[in-house]
Structure 1
Amino acid sequence: MVPFIVPAKDKVLMKIGEGGDTPHPDQTDLNIFVWNVYKGQKAHLFENDFKKHGSGKDFILLQEALVDNKMPLLWKQDFSAYEWHLAQSFHYKKDLSSTGVAIGSKFTPTAVDFIRSRAREFFWLTPKLTLFSEYDFQGKKVLLVCTHVLNFVTTAAFSESLYEIAEKISHFDGPVVLAGDFNTWNVKRYMIMKSIFRDLHLDHLDLENDGRLLKLDHVFVRGFEVLKAEVHHKVTGSDHFPLEIKLKI
């Protein structure tokens, strides 16, 4: 028996909390936190690290976010000023909790959308999601894209999923941040990823303090000056290290 349910497209998006802040007229810097949170399985370690490193950021981009009885409570209590938008990949039948990608911010987006990969993971047959969220900064539209790319699929299916993301970004003319878990566990995948997004004039960021042996998580930007881009390689609250990015429009 299949242990999960893939939601209908009109049930994929979910909103938790209420933002409402508008960027300060002089604000041109964006502080961004990116993390595959491993569904919060490391419990208190995850919570402590998330509150320590995520607090105060303008944008938080999560992969493997989990809508259960714990993670949304953390958002509501410790990130109460944030508005969270999620794209749910699937629901577990046992408790109807769901997992997917999320973007949290004190700012309310002007538009939110998603794409679901046409291909699905081998064995589990689950799709992967990419969340697109637009914000207005000083009259300029900025696009934040949070993705979790297919893992256990052929190289052709992996490439196709990246082209799906690239095609949607290609319709946006302004500054872009694309970040998340790209599952680039071999050189071929890594080179395909860089080539596809280079064609959209997205710059792949080299990260400071990058002690990762396996580099699965990446950030691409367009239309920004990069002030800081680093890996928090001592964080143990997930099986991925979080990334912190500071950009200037």
Structure 2
Amino acid sequence: MSDIKENVVTFAKQFLPYYRFIRPPESTIDSSHVLPTQLNSDSIKVLNWNIAKNNFEKFWFKDFLKLQRECQPDLIFLQEVRMGLGVEQIVGFHNMSWAYAPNFIDAHHQTYSGILTAAKISAIAKKVIVTKHHEPLFKTPKVSLFTEYSLSHHRETLLTINSHLINFVDLDKFKAQLQELELAISTHTGPIIFAGDFNTWSRKRALLLEKTVMRLGLKEAHFAPDESKKIKRFLLSPPLDYIFYRGLKEKRSSAKVFDEIFSSDHKPLLAEFTYDHI
């Protein structure tokens, strides 16, 4: 295994010069529309998906339009989204407001890479947390995007966190990202949705994540056993993708993993929630 790792590092140094991947100057790139100002508390449909940088491909766009048409999600959390430099709109979100948090610019392809949160309403607040540590080969950080939304007939707001956790680093660096996220999330008193690709490909990583969400009072969206087994794993590892929540009620029968989608090696996850607090 060590020989393989050394060969990969040698290849990267030869063919992927350090200056190819640049930290972008923007924390977020945003697109807002004239939309309703509040989410419907009776039904909040959440779609979470690592799209593996395939959103420039026609086969991915076909899958994405199908998901939008069939599921009609209120909130969409995507990881590994590409966006062209100077482009003001990402195709597929013309009827939604979105915030895009890039973690690097690929100077060779003239594209951003990052995470995107889209909603049927406009966010009232946004925040980006960038990891202090970088992944080893490309020397790039990971980002998490916090967005806050109004709920219909309620004073409390919904905080959402779209996160892609750091990979190819030791456990302490993975833990450091979780600790920073936990600190930021813990200040919110209202309902929360925390979703993304958590890169929990080892039991130790999964346990750290489990302890973090437990301290925050978050629950894991429930997928029936036949659905859960479809979620992306690395060999026999725990799942990599999750939707966590707090202060909401889950419509369990609606949780679904779309295993007929092949435009990414991750499968889209769908969950539906309601909110009836006064």
Tell me the TM-score normalised to structure 2 length: 0.82
Partners of 1:237 and 1:186 in 2: how far apart?
25
1:5-27 CA-to-partner distances (Å, cap 9, x unmatched) read 1124xx12101342532237x64
CA RMSD of aligned residues (A): 1.9
Q: 1:226 aligns with which of 250, 253, 258?
A: 250
1:62-114 CA-to-partner distances (Å, cap 9, x unmatched) read 00011128994423xxx322011011100111243101111111201110111
Partners of 1:159 and 1:62 in 2: how far apart?
22
Maintained 8 Å contact 2:83/2:90: no
Could you tell which deviates more after superposition, 30-39 or 224-233? Answer: 224-233
Supply the AA of the counterpart residue of 2:159. L
Count of matched residue positions in the alignment of Structure 1 and Structure 2: 243
Question: In structure 1, the residue corresponding to 2:150 is in which secondary structure?
Answer: strand
Residue aligning to 1:66: 82
Q: Quick one: structure 1 residues 19 and 147, their matched pair in 2 at CA, closer, same or farther if it must change by over 3 Å?
A: farther
Partners of 1:137 and 1:73 in 2: how far apart?
26
Partners of 1:73 and 1:64 in 2: how far apart?
13
Tell me the TM-score normalised to structure 1 length: 0.91
Residue aligning to 1:210: 228
Residue aligning to 1:16: 31
Residue aligning to 1:140: 156
Residue aligning to 2:22: 5
Supply the AA of the counterpart residue of 2:181. I
1:183-233 CA-to-partner distances (Å, cap 9, x unmatched) read 000111111101111101011223231223611101110001110322112
| Structure 2 segments unaligned to the other structure (5+ residues) | 1-16, 234-238
Q: Quick one: structure 1 residues 88 and 27, their matched pair in 2 at CA, closer, same or farther if it must change by over 3 Å?
A: same
Partners of 1:144 and 1:108 in 2: how far apart?
13
Maintained 8 Å contact 2:160/2:193: yes
Partners of 1:108 and 1:17 in 2: how far apart?
6
Question: In structure 1, the residue corresponding to 2:91 is in which secondary structure?
Answer: helix
Q: 2:116 aligns with which of 98, 102, 116?
A: 102
Shift of 1:28: 2.2
Question: In structure 1, the residue corresponding to 2:101 is in which secondary structure?
Answer: strand
1:241 aligns with 2:256: no
Partners of 1:88 and 1:6 in 2: how far apart?
8
Partners of 2:127 and 2:133 in 1: how far apart?
19
| Structure 1 segments unaligned to the other structure (5+ residues) | none
1:3-53 CA-to-partner distances (Å, cap 9, x unmatched) read 111124xx12101342532237x6421011110011116822211111111
Maintained 8 Å contact 1:194/1:204: no
1:47 aligns with 2:71: no
1:167 aligns with 2:193: no
Residue aligning to 2:207: 191
Maintained 8 Å contact 2:38/2:149: no
Partners of 1:97 and 1:42 in 2: how far apart?
11
Q: Quick one: structure 1 residues 218 and 19, their matched pair in 2 at CA, closer, same or farther if it must change by over 3 Å?
A: farther
Question: In structure 1, the residue corresponding to 2:270 is in which secondary structure?
Answer: strand
Higher radius of gyration, 1 or 2:
2
Looking at secondary structure, tell me which structure has more strand per residue: 1
Question: In structure 2, the residue corresponding to 1:103 is in which secondary structure?
Answer: strand
1:91 aligns with 2:109: no
Supply the AA of the counterpart residue of 2:111. S
Residue aligning to 1:128: 142
